[in-house]
Amino acid sequence: MFSIVLNIVGPLLHLYVAARLYSLDAVRTRVPRRAWWIGAVLVWLLYLAGVHIGDAALDWRWWPGQFALTWLGITFVMSLCLLATDIVGGFGYLARAHTQKLRALGAGAGLLLAAVALFQGMRAPVVTDREVVMQGLPRALDGTVIVAISDIHLGAQRRSAWLAARIEQINALQPAAVLLLGDLVEDDPVGRPLPGEPQLAPTLRGLRAPLGVWAVTGNHEFYGDAETTVAQFREGGVRWLRDQQVELAPGLVLAGIEDVGRRMRKERDYLGGLARTIPAAADSATILMSHIPAPRIIEAASARGVDLMLSGHTHGGQIWPFSYAVQQRFARFAGAYDVDGMLLYVTRGAGSWGPRMRLWQAGEIIRLTLRAPPAALAHADREPAQS
């Protein structure tokens, strides 16, 4: 599907934007027609070269690959704005006296929104704070800080140096545990960095979390060699939960399930991992990590007494108006949701996929402060001191 977007939709967007921009008097009177269209063809050829070279390469091929993805995002945003003004003006037939002004407005709005999207996509992710009341959480763990991050997509766009900056952000939050919610790589394992860039494992070992750094797989891990990626992160001190659960601290359980994307695509039952991981209703405060916020996983987790479920995958739609399409697939696609007493948080993710752009919101890192229920705190306060 994405191949169709790159090879067919992308060139059509490019052609549409080029034609509309050249219809503006301010452009047409200053740039000869032949020069404009020769330039447009050269940009189109560079775009196609980038598409077929690919954006995963970490050598000179990175530049045309990244240009192609960025240009696709820019022309998409500009096409939205230009199409809106075309519709208002009847494509130049209904409001001919205002066609130039409308198209100039559309072009200006498109450039502005593309700049905003690039800024939001390239800036550091913001920190989202949330307090979570967990039934059964011991009083001793009240105030425990958990930091979660998803969809970092290490690869051509983001490398170990970018990850090192995110680790500084995370460490500043003083987490007891760090949770990595999948899609940690773009597709292939990160491999050897470019000259002058830090190695992955020493970078990961910079994370400071007394209760550990834990991860689950996402769909992108399986687009490449998932086992190599798992080994690379394990070398950096990351512990994986692949249909497993552990006791983070007395009275607090952390569970993680293997990515269910492949089973969902084949319309097969994908609850087996959750059933193996949490076979019965949880009697301890429980956190579940599941990369994809699949509806059946959400409902089953809530029925099993999970207190907090953390997911990513959706990117919050990443570039508006794709958020509406994502919401058709995942009704709970970004932010916090109460599901029969279970808190589900679907993060927008810290990175991006495809164009390094976000419209409207930047990526995020989640800081969760765990709270014992008020009744438990009150009961503990009433307990007599032991001599």
Q: What CATH number has the domain bearing residue 244?
A: 3.60.21.10
Read off the pLDDT of each residue in 168-193 and give the average, rounded to a whole number.
90
Closest CA to 210 of 165, 134, 307, 145: 145
- 341 Rama class: left (phi>0) / alpha (psi -120 to 50) / beta: left
In a domain, 382, yes or no: no
Is 179 found in the same domain as 91? no
Does one domain contain both 202 and 337?
yes
pLDDT-based confidence at residue 90 (cuts at 50, 70, 90): confident
CB 66 within 8 A of CB 349: no
Q: What are phi and psi of 130, to 5 degrees?
A: -150, 135
- Round to whole Å and give the CA distance between 80 and 316: 19
CA distances from 149 to 65, 77, 169, 338, 360 (A): 26, 27, 11, 20, 19
Strand partners, 364: 126
Q: State which of 89, 122, 155 marks the end of a domain.
A: 122
Max CA distance (Å), the chain: 93
Structure confidence at residue 350 (pLDDT): 94
Q: Is the pLDDT of residue 197 over 70?
A: no
**Residues 245, 254: contact at Cβ < 8 Å?**
yes
Could you list the residue range(s) of the whole structural domain that residue 54 is in? 2-122
- Residues 272-282: what's their mean pLDDT? 88
Q: Is residue 71 pLDDT above 90, yes or no?
A: yes
Q: Residue 58 pLDDT > 70, yes or no?
A: no
Is 70 in the same domain as 211?
A: no
pTM above 0.85, yes or no: yes
Residue 54: pLDDT above 70?
Answer: no
Q: Would you say the C-alpha torsion 116, 119, 121, 126 has a positive or negative sign?
A: negative
pLDDT score of 179 more than 90: yes
371: Cβ–Cβ under 8 A, 6 or more apart, which residues? 131, 132, 133, 134, 137, 142, 143
Total count of domains within the chain: 2
Examine residue 38 and state whether it is found in any structural domain, yes or no: yes
User: Which of 88, 122, 156 is the endpoint of a domain?
Assistant: 122
Regarding whether 143 and 7 lie in a shared domain, the answer is no
Higher pLDDT: 230 or 322? It is 230
pLDDT digits (tens, 9 = 90+) for 109-160: 999 999 999 999 999 999 999 999 998 899 999 999 999 999 999 987 888 8
Do residues 163 and 112 share a domain? no
How does residue 282 score in pLDDT terms, banded at 50, 70 and 90?
confident
- Region 199-222: mean pLDDT is 94
Band (pLDDT 50/70/90 cuts) for residue 38 is very high
Q: Identify the pLDDT of residue 266.
A: 74
Task: Answer yes or no: do 272 and 307 share one domain.
Answer: yes
| pLDDT for the residue numbered 387 | 35
79 and 109 share one domain: yes
Q: Are residues 144 and 113 in the same domain?
A: no
Q: Does residue 149 share a domain with residue 96? A: no
pLDDT at position 386? 47
Paired tokens of 122: 């390239």
Residue 268 has pLDDT above 90, yes or no: no
Measured CA to CA, the distance from residue 380 to residue 386 in angstroms comes to 12
* Paired sense of beta strands 244-249 and 252-256, if any: antiparallel
d(CA 347, CA 336): 9
**Does residue 385 belong to any structural domain of this protein?**
no
Percent over 70 (pLDDT), the chain? 92
* Residue 386 located in a structural domain: no
- pLDDT for 80 equals 94
Residue 281 neighbours by CB distance under 10 Å: 10
Rounded mean pLDDT, 323-335: 89
- Shared domain for 205 and 278, answered yes or no, is yes
pLDDT exceeds 60 at position 19 = yes
* pLDDT confidence tier of residue 35, bands split at 50, 70 and 90: very high
- Of 94-108, 224-238, 285-299, the least confident: 94-108
Write out pLDDT tens, residues 331-360.
Answer: 998 999 999 999 999 999 999 988 899 998
Of 122, 147, 181, the one marking the end of a domain is 122
Distance of CA 101 to the CA centre of its chain: 37
Per-residue pLDDT, 342: 94
User: Range with the lowest mean pLDDT among 308-322, 335-349, 366-380?
Assistant: 366-380
